[in-house]
Chains A and B, each alone.
Chain A
Amino acid sequence: MNAIHRFLGRSSKTQLGPLEQQLLEELWKWKSATVRELLDRSNLELAYTTVMTTLDRLYKKQLLDRSAEGRAFRYSPRHTQEELKKAAVGETVRQLLSSSPAASLPLSYLVEAVSDHDAGLLDQLQQLVDQKRRQRNREKR
């Protein structure tokens, strides 16, 4: 997990590009794969060298593990999708909190957003209970 935090803590230039993201998602799906396997199994219309370079970049960013397999490398994700998502959310909150000299200001936005979400959820749940009550009353009659 420290590796993810180190990675996410860097500048936005080192964040994942669309191709890196796509290949990482493919690897989460297949658990592990070589460049050839990725090209065969997925609908990637990419050159072998493009995939190879991108996977190498992800490896250097410490998001993939690799082991030699013949003349190629077998790549596997170092972290689960959930772990990466969790670290990204944490990093976003950290950046949000350090974005203003008054730490309470961004925090209050966050609390507001969460409260709005809570209120929405409660409304939905209330509708569910009311619906069930109405249905039960109809059945009784």
Chain B
Amino acid sequence: MFAARCIGISLALFLVLYVPASLAVSRAWDMLQQIVAPRTARVSASFLFALRILPFVLASAFTLLFTLPSFLLLEPRATDEAIGTAPLMLGLCCVALLAAGIVQAVLAQMRTSRALMKWLEGSTALESEDAIPVFRTVKDAPSLTVAGVREPKVLVSEAAIAVLTPPELRTALRHEMAHARSYDNLKKLLFRFSVFPGMAGLESAWAEQSELAADDAAVSCVRDALDLAAALIKVSRLSTRQPQAELATGLLHSATALGERVQRLVSWEKRPPITGRGYWQLALPSLGGTVFVVVATYGSVLTGLHQLTEWLVR
């Protein structure tokens, strides 16, 4: 009974934190992004990703650092108290939410594996500049994509190889490698796992920024930028509008973004590298302050939280 109560209360408090945090993020991400105004696409993509998974991380961290210890340390094991209706209902809702996330993530992974197997039929491995393998596909595969989470593979269709010049192909492949190095497919899997309605806008904004970030990573001079722009246009003309696998990231995101991306690449200029010092100068004191506050108030927070759970049970 003690273990059941502990699990029930932990899940209930997880939900109590997760739902309002997710609602706040789904409503305010756009405004927050305007306030922070990230200087590069990479920083913007990272910021949006952090915002998207913040409710899940926050709720999990709170459960592990506060709810569980408060229950284990302060709840007498001998009492034969029932779980209580409110924690039971909230806990069941939380189980349903987590189960939905797990199912979505597993289905996405299965569908991607199936699509990847199909695309790889009759494919040949190409020489790769990177540790990530590149395959030349023959049929029913997207023109250029990186697919898979654990062992991502870059796939390039015969048609794409035929229409792209060697420099264009090289830059386009570097773009896909950048997605793989940023673990963008893993991030998509995490989105499926931390399910919550109303996050589509934020996820789409992240996808667009991660495309721009991969463009930036693939380009180091004006010639590269023009090669990538030309590759984008040529691959768009090839596009057969076939559905992409969920955990795959193609060269193209959407028709609207394509115009913006090409114009951005055409007006590409070499900029001095931006160091992350500014962000760290802000993040380190904030992190230190948070740790200090948590340590200083840990005992009283646990007691207060235990009182709250007692109230919730009764």
- Report the separation of the CA atoms of residues A121 and B255 in the bound assembly, to the nearest whole angstrom: 9
Task: Say whether A122 contacts B226, CB under 8 Å.
Answer: no
> Which among A119, A122, A128, A136 is the interface contact of B222 at CB below 8 angstroms?
A136
Give the contact-size bracket for chain B: 10 to 19
Closest to B239 in A: A118
Residue-wise interface mask of A (117-141) relative to B, using a CB-CB cutoff of 8 A (1 in contact, 0 not): 0110110011011001100100000
Closest to A123 in B: B233
- Report the separation of the CA atoms of residues A136 and B221 in the bound assembly, to the nearest whole angstrom: 12
The answer to whether the Cβ of B258 comes within 8 Å of any Cβ in the partner chain is: yes
Chain B residue contacts of A119, Cβ below 8 A: 237
- Report the separation of the CA atoms of residues A119 and B258 in the bound assembly, to the nearest whole angstrom: 12
Residue-wise interface mask of B (213-244) relative to A, using a CB-CB cutoff of 8 A (1 in contact, 0 not): 00000000011001001100100110000000
- Report the separation of the CA atoms of residues A125 and B256 in the bound assembly, to the nearest whole angstrom: 12
- Report the separation of the CA atoms of residues A119 and B237 in the bound assembly, to the nearest whole angstrom: 8
Chain A residue contacts of B229, Cβ below 8 A: 125, 128-129
Closest to A139 in B: B222
Q: Is the interface of A mostly helix, strand, loop or mixed?
A: helix
B242-272: which residues lie under 8 A (CB-CB) from chain A? 255, 258-259, 262-263, 266
Chain B residue contacts of A132, Cβ below 8 A: 226, 266
Chain A residue contacts of B236, Cβ below 8 A: 118, 122
Closest to B268 in A: A132
Closest to B266 in A: A132
Task: Say whether A125 contacts B259, CB under 8 Å.
Answer: yes
Residue in A118, A122, A125, A136 whose Cβ sees the most chain B Cβ within 10 Å: A125
Q: List 6 A-B contacts (CB under 8 A).
A: A125-B258, A128-B263, A129-B226, A129-B230, A132-B226, A136-B226
Q: Please provide the 6 A-B residue pairs with the shortest distance between their CB atoms, ordered closest to farther.
A: A125-B262, A129-B229, A132-B266, A126-B233, A129-B230, A125-B233
Residues of A at under 8 Å CB distance from B?
118-119, 121-122, 125-126, 128-129, 132-133, 136
